[in-house]
Amino acid sequence: MVGSGLSAQVTFTVSKVARPGDAAPVGQELVRASSPSLNDSGAVAFAGDNGVFFSPSTGGLIVVASYGDAAPGGGTFISAGRPDPLSVNASGQVVFLGQVAPPGNNGVFLYSSSGGVISKVAANGDPAPGGGSLRNLRFPALNDGGQVVFASNFPGGRGVFLSTSGTITRLVRNGDPAPGGGTFSTAFTSLSLNANGIAAFVATAVSGTNTTAQGIFLAGGGSVQKIVRAGDPAPQGGAFSSFDAPSLNAGGQLAFVGMVDTGTTGLYFFSQGQITRLAAVGDPAPGGGAFTSLASPSLNSAGDVSFTGGLSLIHPSCCFEPSGVFLYSGGNFSRIVLPGDSSPELSTFSSGLTPSLNGSGEVAFTGRLSGSVGGIYLSSGGQIRRIAGQGDSVMRDPKFWQAFSPLINNVGQVMFGASMFPGTGGIFSDALRDVIRAGDPLLYSLPFLLHSMTTGTRLSGHSLPRRRLVCFCRPRAER
């Protein structure tokens, strides 16, 4: 009663619905595999269900790092292999990003397949060359000598660092002079490292008039070199405006995606000081249709390039822009996989993505299928074989590692989104029954699958007697 000096006492009970480490009601199966890296012997590393996997050239599947595994330096892995791609070298070493629970720290880690051991390259809180400590490590890349390059924050800015036999040196930082004028800002992305310890990266230079210009640069051996920069003339006309995804080989050749101020996006090749355009959006694609986008170039020692190409053709298995994987070699384009091609599972590919090309001309890629999430595939000698994918056995007990976006209705029913290993993610009820999971077909027989459930998934709901209705927004299917 207002003004009476009395207050009502409310009591309630707190009960657990789900928390990290709880058993997830799913099978011991891989659901989503992506972003493969291929070495010259045919071994493949890839990200899967928020963990890292390795498949030797002799076959089989090894879980490198996943939720609950011990991390070097203390703590346990929460997730691994995300958000940036991992890479494998000729010795079967795999470099990857790892999110680690206290007392450990997030960082860059290196797996050795010869001994099955994971070591720390660098982590949040480690000493930074020049003083202070490293923070927010991103974009790791690995060469055949075991050197690792990565970007990191440190007191006063951000830079690119190289780890060689446990010693970390800084290659470049914000405020350093940028070739072509101005100084580097804190934006260092898309790192690539060749066998000579030279790193390629995309960075932005700022001039005294606060104008910015993005470019692709090389760093190593105590110097920084410009490959191409916004404003430079582009082959076939116009001037470059922005760049993405440089891939560098030991000979100093570079493949990259470039945007031009005329509105053109192209795939470009740098060699001996010259830039040539290999393909552009609108060009005819091998197998039919035209390129609508170009992404993910992978360059080998011979100067061949594999890449992802979005396609104008619409296949019945696609409800979004389809894409294929292509190879440029010896001046000619060929198709590796197209929407509609038969898969080793006797299904049909709906898209091909994120290729990795080795020195023998083999290509590993992510393949999505009509009716399933698909997996990782290897094209060799004109044949495609499956490396790993949805439904493969993973001998780990499925556990939640993240729960988010909880809902409760007026009769106390709860639903929530969750991430797990293995199993990727889904929406679950308070009775720990799955409502929908990554890999499940969508309603109304739509011919594509829910590829992933992440913290970007938003839930809302309403309850009627004896009936639960749930609405959710899923992240857009990956390109």
Residues 121 and 153 grouped into a single domain: yes
Confidence of residue 7 (pLDDT cuts 50, 70, 90): low
Residue 461 pLDDT greater than 50, yes or no: no
The CATH number that applies at residue 119 is 2.120.10.30
What is the tens place of the pLDDT at every residue in 323-333? 999 999 999 99
Confidence of residue 371 (pLDDT cuts 50, 70, 90): confident
My answer on whether 350 and 466 are in the same domain is no
CA 103 to mean position of chain CA atoms: 26
Candidate from 256-260, 436-440, 461-465 with smallest mean pLDDT = 461-465
What is the reported pLDDT for 388? 96
Q: For 367-386, what is the mean pLDDT? A: 93
Instruction: Specify the pLDDT at position 410.
Output: 82
Does the structure show a pLDDT above 90 at 314?
no
What local confidence, expressed as pLDDT, does residue 448 receive?
A: 34
Do both 322 and 417 map to the same domain?
no
Note whether residue 206 is domain-resident. yes
pLDDT number for residue 210 = 67
Average pLDDT over residues 153-164: 95
One-letter amino acid for residue 264 of the chain: T
pLDDT tens, residue by residue, 219-271: 999 999 999 999 999 999 999 999 999 999 999 999 999 999 999 999 999 99
Q: How many helices (H) and strands (E) does the chain have?
A: 0, 35
User: How many domains is the chain partitioned into structurally?
Assistant: 2
Q: What pLDDT does 465 receive?
A: 35
Residue 425: its pLDDT value, please? Answer: 86
pTM, entire model: 0.89
Does the structure show a pLDDT above 90 at 197? yes
pLDDT of residue 478: 43
Q: Are 438 and 424 in contact (CB under 8 A)?
A: yes
Percent of the chain with pLDDT over 70: 88
Q: Indicate if the pLDDT at residue 4 is higher than 60.
A: no
Is residue 446 very low, low, confident or very high in pLDDT (cuts 50, 70, 90)?
very low
Q: How many CB atoms lie within 10 A of CB 262?
A: 11
Does the pLDDT at position 70 exceed 80?
yes
Instruction: Indicate the residue among 358, 389, 420 that finishes a domain.
Output: 389
Q: What is the mean pLDDT of the segment spanning 304-323?
A: 77
346 occurs within a structural domain: yes
Query: Same structural domain for residues 82 and 153?
Result: yes
Bridge partner residues of 310 (DSSP): 293, 323
Tokens of 356: 């990795």
- Of 389, 416, 439, which one is at a domain's C-terminal end? 389
Can you give the residue range of the structural domain that contains 460?
399-473
Residues 366 and 438 in one domain: no
- Tell me whether residue 229 is in a domain: yes
Query: Average pLDDT in the 45-69 region?
Result: 96
Q: Tens digits of per-residue pLDDT, 10-30? A: 887 888 888 899 999 999 999
Domain closes at, from 361, 389, 417: 389
One domain for residues 102 and 54: yes
pLDDT at site 5: 56
How high is the pLDDT of residue 412?
Answer: 82
Alpha-carbon distance 175 to 160, whole Å? 12
Residue 347 lies in a domain: yes
Residue 28 resides in a domain: no
- Contact between 90 and 136 under an 8 Å Cβ cutoff? The reply is no
354 in the same domain as 425: no
Output the average pLDDT for the chain: 88
Closest among 320, 307, 328, 318 to 349, alpha carbons compared: 318
Determine whether 225 is exposed, middle or buried from the number of CB atoms within 10 Å of its CB (0-12, 13-18, 19+): middle
| Tokens matching residue 126 | 């480690």
- Residue 431: predicted pLDDT: 79
Residue range 120-139, pLDDT digits in tens: 999 999 999 988 999 999 99
User: For a pLDDT cut of 90, what percent of the chain falls above it?
Assistant: 73
- Give the per-residue pLDDT at 17: 86
Q: 250 and 170, same structural domain?
A: yes
The rounded distance, in Å, linking the Cα atoms of 348 and 242 is: 35
Q: Identify whether residues 465 and 379 lie together within a single domain.
A: no
Same domain, 332 and 445: no
Residue 443 pLDDT > 90, yes or no? no
What phi and psi values does residue 363 have, to the nearest 5 degrees?
-130, 120
Comparing 72-81, 84-93, 376-385, 417-426, the range with the smallest average pLDDT is 417-426
Residue of 298, 302, 260 whose CA lies nearest to 277:
260
